[in-house]
């Protein structure tokens, strides 16, 4: 995949040996770039372009922006919806279909039993696998702790997005401000090992890490 921003000369790529990062020291430019990135994520015209094999990709489907690194929420609605959809398919496949129908029948009979003494006939009109899955509150277990736990949670999240949705480009905003250099370096190396594509966007310069390929836009908008 390739990512470009029309205001800059740099072409961001991922080759499996390093990860691209960008430092934007000019506050106005930093904000303008993020506005364009969010516009692309929301499906509006943007100066940001993502491509693969010379084909323009829909950024609404192929990127995620992560800017929250304190109590990162792994239970995002988009991911949970994909998981629930996969569970629904599993419940209705050839190996689970009979059990699923038996469960639906048990629930339907339970409704009849609960309303037996009523002077009216009650029927469960919305009894279905999707309704059951939504009603029981499907969530991912969230028991990560400590400084490294937050990074582990983000890595797990990226793996789940890959499993239940697709490979995406993850844009991290000012991530370096929250984690020690050694933890961030380990995180980046794990991303490379698992072939995750990330672009770290920072508003100030930190020490360059191993496997980092950095571009800087300084206060005078010089690019180097």
Q: Tell me: the pLDDT tens digits for 104-154?
A: 999 999 999 999 999 999 999 999 999 999 899 999 998 888 767 999 999
* pLDDT value at residue 152: 95
Task: Kindly report, residue by residue over 27-66, the tens digit of the pLDDT.
Answer: 999 999 999 999 999 999 999 999 999 999 999 999 999 9
What is the distance between the alpha carbons of residues 187 and 174, in angstroms, rounded to a whole number?
15
Q: How far apart are CA 224 and CA 34, in angstroms?
A: 20
Give strand ranges (E) for 114-168. none
Residues in the chain: 224
Distance CA 132, CA 18 (A): 44
CA 191, distance to chain mean position in Å, is 14
Q: Tell the burial category of 96 from Cβ atoms under 10 Å away from its Cβ (0-12, 13-18, 19+).
A: middle
Closest C-alpha to 178, from 141, 203, 199: 203
What is the average pLDDT score of the chain? 95
Mean pLDDT for 168-176 is 98
Residue 194 pLDDT class (50, 70, 90 cuts): very high
């Amino acid at each position: 995949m390739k990512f470009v921003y029309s205001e800059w000369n740099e072409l961001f790529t991922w080759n499996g040996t390093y990860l691209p990062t960008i430092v934007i020291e000019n506050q106005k430019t930093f904000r303008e770039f993020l506005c364009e990135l969010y516009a692309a994520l929301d499906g509006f015209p943007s100066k940001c372009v993502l491509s693969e094999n010379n084909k323009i990709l829909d950024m609404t489907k192929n990127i995620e922006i992560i800017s929250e690194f304190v109590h990162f929420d792994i239970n995002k609605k988009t991911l949970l919806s994909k998981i629930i959809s996969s569970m629904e398919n599993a419940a209705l496949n050839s190996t689970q279909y009979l059990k699923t129908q038996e469960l639906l029948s048990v629930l339907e009979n339970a409704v009849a039993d609960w309303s037996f003494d009523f002077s009216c006939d009650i029927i469960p009109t919305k009894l279905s696998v999707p309704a059951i899955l939504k009603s029981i509150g499907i969530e991912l277990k969230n028991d990560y702790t400590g400084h490294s736990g937050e990074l582990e949670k983000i890595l797990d999240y990226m793996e789940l997005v890959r499993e239940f949705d697709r490979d995406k480009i993850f844009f991290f905003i000012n991530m370096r401000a929250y984690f020690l250099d050694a933890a961030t370096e380990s995180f980046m190396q794990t991303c490379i090992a698992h072939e995750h594509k990330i672009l770290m966007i920072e508003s100030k310069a930190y020490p360059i890490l191993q496997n980092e390929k950095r571009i800087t836009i300084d206060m005078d908008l010089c690019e180097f």
